[in-house]
Structure 1
Amino acid sequence: MRVLGLYKSKKYLQRVLISIMLSMVLVMSALSITNTFILEKSVKRNQEASNLKVLTQIQYNLSYMNEIITHLSIFVYRDNILIPMMFENDLPKMDLIRGYQRLNTILESSSFLHSIVVYNHSQNKLYGTTTPFLLDDGVTEAKIRKWLFDPSSPHKNSRLIPVSLEKKSGQIDAFAFIVADSLNVFNSSESAIILYIKSDWVFDSLKKMNVGSDREMGEVYIADDDGRLYSSRTDNLVASEKDQMQVKQLIDGDKKAMNRQSGFVIGNVAGKKSMITYMDDGMRNWKIVYIQSYDKLMQDVRQTRLQSIMISVIFLVVAIALSIGVSYKLYHPIENMLQRLRLHVPGNDQSDPNERDELSLMSNRYLKLSDKLHEISSEQIVNKYYIRKFLTDSQMFSHNDMKDLIEKHNLNISISKEIIVCVLQIDHYPEFDRMTTGATKKMYSFAMLNIAQEMMSESYPCEAVEIRGDHVVLIVSKSDRETDFRQVHPIIKEIQDKIHQYYNLSLSCGISDTISQFPYLASAYSQAIQLIPYRIVRGNKSIITSEEVKANLSNKQVALPDSIEKKLSEALKKGQMSEAGSELEKAFSILSTFHYDDMLRAVSNLSWIIKNTAMEISSNRIVQLDRDMDHILNLSQEKETLEEMYVPLLSACAQICGIGRPATMERNDMILETIKELIEQKYSDLNLSQQSIASNVKLTSAYIGKLFKDSTSMSITEYINDIRLKHAQQLLESDKYTIQEIMEKCGYSNSSYFFRLFKTKFGSTPKEYRMKKMLF
């Protein structure tokens, strides 16, 4: 009950939960309905295509049967023995006997014939081959005559016509095929032969299709012009004429609406929803009709729909569970904000009719807090003004005046205890100022001010103010708990670490001496400011007191000894880097004891000495310096610590010593570089050798050979082979050239010599090396 009560009280949470769950229900429901609709439509489309393929095959079978019967009918009609039976007025008995024999022979030779009837117009007589026709006292003959000469139902020649010869139920048991001279409608004024085809033979293909269609819950029919349906299973016809007419109307309506000769339509047949696929026969004015139960056809779709609904329900349950978790996760920050607002706004338990939900509540509480903060902000502006005034113009106030102002504005400064001033300044501020936007600088200043004041106030009464944007000033008083300022140093260290951790800013701090009179605040602030530059000795992120730089402030020496500067210059000219480094280190060790301004001047003088020495050496040497030395002249303005200044000067000395070597060494290096360049350019030349190189550089072969060997520990010939083999190795990694071509391009004419050198260097023959690279 408690959980339910908490839930009911959180109106915004209810709204989030209901929105998420309702969205999920709608999406899942729409997805399920869409999937089943698409599936049903796809099944219909696939079933139509499948049915039309079946009907096309049946149409082909019927056309093939019609062709067979047509050929047989022509043969029978032109039979010389049967012609007298059709046209003689007075038929001799022998011709009659021969005619019957011919008819029986034709029947026996054609398994699909049920019987043959010959009509003689001159005699108005029918001759038939079946036993009932001959022995039932004319009953069968009368039935055939009535059907054949029915004026209300004329029959076309050379067409399969469904008839009922023996069944009294009216169901067909044969198909009649009339052959006469006329090509149109048969009439009694012409002789003809009527071939009766067994219905089973005609429906044989339908039987086979129906065997397959059982799996599809349907049956194939033949429909005539009147809409009557015939099937191989005569006991399973669409029972009533009403149902057959309904099928005809559905088909005719679809044909008219879609203007097509084949297709499918869905409608009610015999009280059941059915899918009817149809196709015109094209020759006999028949239609091939395939009727399927729609419910059975869509049985799989219904099962799939049910499964989809079940899966959707499962997913919805899981989604609801997840939505509850997600909603509470999203709601958690709002709940935290409400708790914080309740801590700062009095009377938070009283309900407000305008607070419709948590957001409205927070809005109201924010307005109350905003009003309160506005009042506090106005008061803080006045307080910060007086604090800045105390730090810059404290000599304008008496001690009692400042005491009254501190009490009046409730400043957190002790009026009876000693005070110190701490200044926190950003290291490398010019670079920070150049790389940071105005809004970001304000944010950093605000953060530094609040963090410093909050951490210091935990142990000492403290007021903090930001001045000029590059530093924060803390006015720290002794407290009843802390009788001295020993904890100030570790607290400042914690402040530096915290700001560096959060904002990656390095701060240095200057701490003034203790004062007991308020008018000395400006002097204490000035002292703390002047202490900070001594980070040049102690490094960035340092904490500096007057006691720590007392030796620097009392030192009267203002310049380095001339002997150090002279020895540094001589060492550079001689190229003696160790001596130059030693003198530079001595110089920095001495100048670190100077007053701050004197340090900067000493560093500037060292920079000029190193630059002038470099210019003097460079003017007398062939090899020039790689870069200009002007950058070292600005070290005292660009760097903040001696360590930062020492490293560039030491690097400059190393560079100068690199060019200050003896002239002989310069000449030898130039010769060696020339030899290497010649080999790199002419490695493909078959005539390249130590002698040819000596000729090019105008020196003896023995001299350059010894010079090269002493310098590189290898002979010129070995170096030539090394360069050639490296180029051969690169060319072998592609299949652009043959091995012979590569050998020639790399300056070798002897293949065995080339192969031996290559295997010695790489451990494999050129061919093996190429194969390995191609494979791997």
Structure 2
Amino acid sequence: MRLKDEKKWGVYAKLLLGIVLCTVLTITISSTILFIYFNRITLKEDYQSDLRDLTQTSREVNHMTDTAQSLTFQLYRNHTIMKLMFYPEPSIYDSIAAMNELSNYLNSMPYIESIYVYNPKSEYVYIAADSGQNGLLTKQELSDKGVLDLIEHYRDYKPFTPIPRTYNSNNESDAKNVYTYLGYDAIGSGNTVNSAIIVNISVSWINKEIADGDQKPGRSYIMDNRGLLLSGEDLSPAAFTAEGTAKLRTIAGSGLEGYSLSQIDGRKYLVSYTKPDGLDWRYLRVTPYERVTENIRQIRTTTILITLAILAAGILAAWVLSRKLYAPYGLIASRMQTLEAANRNNVYTLRQHLLRGLVLGNEPLNPKSLRARLSQMNITFDFQKPYRLVLLRIDRFRQLSTLRGADLKAYRYAMMNIGSELGMQYYHVESVEIEGDAILFVFGDTGKLDMEDEAELVVLLQQIQQAIAEHLHIGISVAYSALEHQVLHLKALYHQVDTASGHRFFHGLGTIIRAQECILPDSKAYVFPVDKEKRMTDALMAGKTEEAKLCMKAIMEGTLAFPIGAAQAAIARLAITLNNVLYTFHRNKLIDPEAVPVLITSAVDELETMEEVGGAFLAAIDQLHGLIVEKRSMKQEDLIRRINDIVDVSYGDPNLSLNAIAQELDLSPSHLGRIYKQMTLETLVDVINRTRVGKAAELLNRTQEPVAEIAGKTGFTNTSYFYRMFKKYYGLTPSDYRKKSS
């Protein structure tokens, strides 16, 4: 009913879900388009921002180039400084005046790191610097050896083109990153310069726009007119492999400005680059692609979450609205389904009632009226043709009822369907629901099989057993009747197959029983073997467990030739006998009063096979024997404990012996000695002697009493016997033992 309701109001749910899914699909597609569009906008904005920074840096470099060129011209026209450039040995006053001029220029231009004046005819290099080496330095004292290399290879550099380089001033560990501008006079000089002025401008000053851009992801690079790719921040080589560096040169070598998404060294980057400036320099900024699109990815994640929320809300709304829209229609449909189910159940109930009445003999068997009633119930079974009854009994029915009591009717109905579907391949089948653990099938002749061929029938019954076990995990036992042609014999035939199914007790669970083979005398003819019962009781009382088991088995096997009622009576009688023996032992205090169990309870109702009943009785006999042995063992352990206590207390008594202890405990000496030997594997005499010798050893250790007195205190009346026993247990005489201990 509930599933059908869900299918009906599911129409509304599908309609609303379709709308919701279309909405979600629209949002997803539009979000994807917007994501791609915003991604492009982000890339373009990042490129334009990078381009502004890089272009500004290019302007700064070109401006500084003009400034350095102007400064160099001024220095060359300064008469005081010219003396340093052209006089091999200017006077000290001229040198001081020139250095002051250089310092003035240096102080007026904070972006200048240092100024060098070079005269190849002089042994000195004149340096004006904010830090590091300053003043007149010989070429050997000069830390910046790179500037000498620049002057020597001046033809390799374009005049007044900045040369990015790093040098150490005054041998300091911190490197200075500068743009070096080389101004020189080489007119008519051949391969050497007549004079040179070197202006070093700080990289951080020129590239302050790049430095400000450090807050953004990525890193800036410079590709100079020689094709070198250097970091814009510290003039270090590009942190890429040779292949990656070559790819960057290719990207920026087009002569135009722009940006590119490229895979460099296995990682995707946004590369923004400028066109060559007046110095033929290009500026690049390399930014990891995931950093550029980080915000866009957050937008995408937010969009996905919103889409999922809309989908969840739409599903919930579809469910709620579907229920509300379905309510009026559902009420009508529910009433119609109720009427249909009632009518269907009523017809099924009437069919089952009629068939059950025929089987149990509660319906009149007038052939004409019966045929009309069968036709009215749409039962086409012809009882005038050969038919037979098949009775299924559920194994472990009590356990199944306990575990699955609420679904038991459904299980029975499923078994009826399985048996009918398999049986209809060969027979005309009608199923009858019998109370309790039984289901009855009537197999009629259809002409497909020979009804007298029981081998085919047994194969079919095995298939039914297997199908029920596979699908329902339930075991069944089957009994089938002989062939019959008259409806008048239906009741007798059912009694026959019902009686035969009870022989599952003897054959075991899951068996297929032929009813004709179970025609037995009446159970009233069975006589319980009282003599075997008495022998079993005597054996139990005498502790002869195996003999008692044999008597019990003989009594059970004696019921095999009789109906199940005889076995049930014998089981009940045996249960009473075992419980009587148990309580006899209890009265005679042969078992612990606090551990008296109930050995056999409701065996006939709970156990379904003779094997199970026999196992229960054997376990009860073993349990009874175990209680007796346990009680006996506890008594013997208590006796041993009392004997050891007497020895520990009275070891100094010379009269302490097996006979004295037996007399104190009111037992015979032989019985006492045998029990003690069985329980401890030692004789009582050995235990007494060992205890006395142990006590004597303690006295020898902690006292200076004579050996003879110690022997008397520990129960030895004969000193030589004491010496012999002491040496037996300790391997030394008492005197030697005392010396060794001291």
TM-score (norm 2): 0.50
2:439 to 468, 472, 479: 472
Shift of 1:482: 0.6
Q: Give yes or no for the alignment of 1:133 onto 2:72.
A: no
Change (3 A) 1:429 1:154: closer
CA offsets, 1:277-312, max 9 Å, x none? 64xxxxxxxxx6436486858459724359xxxxxx
Equivalent residues in 2 for 1:285-324 (5 A)?
289-290=235-236, 292=238, 296=242, 298-299=244-245, 302-305=264-267
Give the aligned partner of residue 67 of structure 1: none
Q: Secondary structure at the match of 1:451?
A: helix
Aligned match for 2:619, one of 651, 655, 663: 651
User: Residue 587 of structure 1 aligns with which residue?
Assistant: 555
With over 3 angstroms needed to count, the CA separation of the structure-2 counterparts of 1:418 and 1:250, relative to structure 1, is farther
- Deviation per residue, 1:353-387 (Å, 9 max, x gap): xxxxxxxxxxxxxxxxxxxxx99999898467525
Post-superposition offset of 1:617? 2.8
- Specify the SS of the correspondent of 1:201: coil
Structure 2 counterparts to residues 219-258 of structure 1, below 5 A: 220-221=165-166, 229-230=179-180, 251-256=207-212
Who is 1:670 aligned against?
635
Aligned-partner Cα distance in 1 for 2:231–2:243: 12
Question: For 2:685 and 2:82, how far apart are their aligned partners in 1?
Answer: 122
Is 1:164 aligned to residue 117 of structure 2? yes
- Supply the AA of the counterpart residue of 1:573: M
Q: Which amino acid aligns with 1:602?
A: A
Q: TM-score, normalised by structure 1?
A: 0.49
Quick check: 1:448 aligned with 2:415?
yes
Change (3 A) 1:512 1:291: closer
Match of 2:478 in 1: 509
Counterpart pick for 1:551 among 520, 534, 537: 520
Structure 1 residues 465 and 622: alpha-carbon distance in aligned structure 2, compared to 1, 3 A threshold? closer
| Superposition pairs of residues 318-467 of structure 1, within 5 angstroms | 382=347, 385-393=350-358, 395-396=363-364, 398-403=366-371, 413-414=381-382, 416-436=384-404, 438-439=406-407, 441=408, 444-467=411-434
Distance 1:621 1:468 in 2: 48
Name 2:462's counterpart in structure 1: 493
Counterparts of 2:647 and 2:147 in 1: how far apart (Å)? Answer: 91
Question: In 1, Cα distance between the equivalents of 2:671 and 2:340?
Answer: 93
Q: Distance in 1 between matches of 2:658 and 2:114?
A: 112
Cα distance in 2, alignment partners of residues 510 and 259 from structure 1: 91
Kindly provide the amino acid, as one letter, of the partner of residue 424 in structure 2.
S
Instruction: State the 1:127 CA deviation.
Output: 14
CA distance in 2, matches of 1:525, 1:456: 19
Residue of structure 2 in register with 1:149 after alignment: 101
Structure 1 contact 510–531 (Cα < 8 Å) conserved: yes
CA contact (8 A) 2:445 2:451 kept: yes
Of the structure 1 ranges 538-547 and 711-720, higher mean CA displacement relative to structure 2 is found in: 711-720
User: What is the identity, as a one-letter code, of the residue corresponding to 2:677?
Assistant: K
Identical aligned pairs, as a percentage? 16
How many aligned residue pairs are there? 482
Letter in 1 for 2:393: Q
- TM superposition shift of 1:619: 1.1
Question: Are positions 1:621 and 2:621 aligned together?
Answer: no
Asked if structure 2 preserves the Cα contact closer than 8 Å seen for 1:390 and 1:522, the reply is: no
1:207–1:611 distance in 2 versus 1, CA, 3 Å = farther
Q: Is the CA contact 1:266–1:273 (under 8 Å) kept in the aligned structure 2? A: no
Equivalent position of 2:127 in the other structure: 176
Cα displacement (A) at 1:702: 8.4
SS in structure 2 opposite 1:153?
A: helix
Give the conservation status (yes or no) of the 8 Å contact 1:177–1:195: no
Aligned residue for 1:591, secondary structure, equals coil
Structure 2: 5+ residue stretches without partners: 1-31, 33-78, 150-162, 170-175, 185-190, 192-199, 248-262, 269-338, 690-725, 733-742
Q: Looking at both structures, which has the greater relative contact order when contacts are Cα pairs under 8 Å and sequence separation is at least 6?
A: 2
Distance, in Å, in 1 between the alignment partners of 2:183 and 2:265 is 31
1:422, CA displacement in angstroms? 1.1
Amino acid aligned to 1:304: G
SS of 2:420 mapped into structure 1: helix
Partners of 1:449 and 1:624 lie apart in 2 by 53
More displaced, 268-277 or 523-532? 268-277
Any idea what the Cα deviations from partners look like across 1:624-673, whole Å, max 9, x if unmatched? 37853524142122212233222222333344456679xxx988983456
Distance in 1 of aligned mates of 2:615 and 2:384: 49
